[in-house]
Amino acid sequence: EPEVTQTPSHQVTQMGQEVILRCVPISNHLYFYWYRQILGQKVEFLVSFYNNEISEKSEIFDDQFSVERPDGSNFTLKIRSTKLEDSAMYFCASLGAGRMNTEAFFGQGTRLTVV
Amino acid sequence: DAKTTQPNSMESNEEEPVHLPCNHSTISGTDYIHWYRQLPSQGPEYVIHGLTSNVNNRMASLAIAEDRKSSTLILHRATLRDAAVYYCILSGGGSNYKLTFGKGTLLTVNP
């Protein structure tokens, strides 16, 4: 069974620090996503990424956020200067090619705690 | 984004069938109907999807109304491991794929 891997599983950081959340999507997938879920709330879309560029981003994804696929396997989410309200579970997802493909695979998430 | 409406919660007994409804009266012709679920402390997990016809897979069945304005996810025999939040989501496929999660239906399965 293919899987999306996220590291670390839990990250604690001080307010104002930069964090990088890492994801290894499924190897032949072409579409990549980041979502977040604040404790007790809905899963929220952050950004989608295709062909080495952002295809869509939400209002949450402001200038403090960036994504990168540095080496063809990893997909990272960087938060430049973390705020307390960035504390959440962050989920990476990937989707295979093809217009008919609609089964996204999610990772187990990284719990980010900003103190 | 086209919206869906689901009950906040449902309860079932183990080994009984469960029918989880979803209304999506503003669905467009290119929208797929997706169901995902989220078990406690885990990431969302794909369950099933369909466009017009009913669909079956190893996890569940999806019954889609003829006018596509509603659908029902059917778990044929609920187990304790099926206790989760179930999300009904509309989206296109491929480059038009984007999941917008609502609150979903919290399914409780009683032993």
CB–CB of A102 and B44 under 8 A?
Answer: no
CB–CB of A102 and B102 under 8 A?
Answer: no
| Residue A98: per-residue pLDDT | 67
More confident residue, A7 or A29: A7
Residues from chain B that touch A96, judged by Cβ atoms under 8 A, are: none
Q: Which residues of A30-61 are buried (b: 16+ CB within 10 A; e: fewer)?
A: bbbbbbbbeeeebbbbbbbbbeeeebebbebb
CB–CB of B97 and A103 under 8 A?
Answer: no
Provide the number of CB pairs (under 8 Å) joining chain A to chain B: 65
Query: Tens digit of pLDDT for each residue in B74-107?
Result: 999 999 999 999 999 998 776 678 889 999 999 9
**From B42, B94, B96, residue closest to A108, measured CB to CB:** B42
Strand pairing of B45-50 and B70-75?
A: unpaired
Residues from chain B that touch A44, judged by Cβ atoms under 8 A, are: 101
Q: Is A51 on the interface with B (CB under 8 A)?
A: no
Share of chain A above pLDDT 90, in %: 80
Residues from chain B that touch A98, judged by Cβ atoms under 8 A, are: 93-94
At residue A101 the predicted structure's pLDDT band, cuts being 50, 70 and 90, is low
| Residue B2: per-residue pLDDT | 62
**From B46, B99, B103, residue closest to A45, measured CB to CB:** B99
Task: Show the tokens assigned to B89.
Answer: 């989501």
B98 Cβ contact partners less than 8 Å away, ≥ 6 residues apart:
A33, A45, A48, A56, B1, B91, B92
**From A42, A50, A55, residue closest to B103, measured CB to CB:** A42
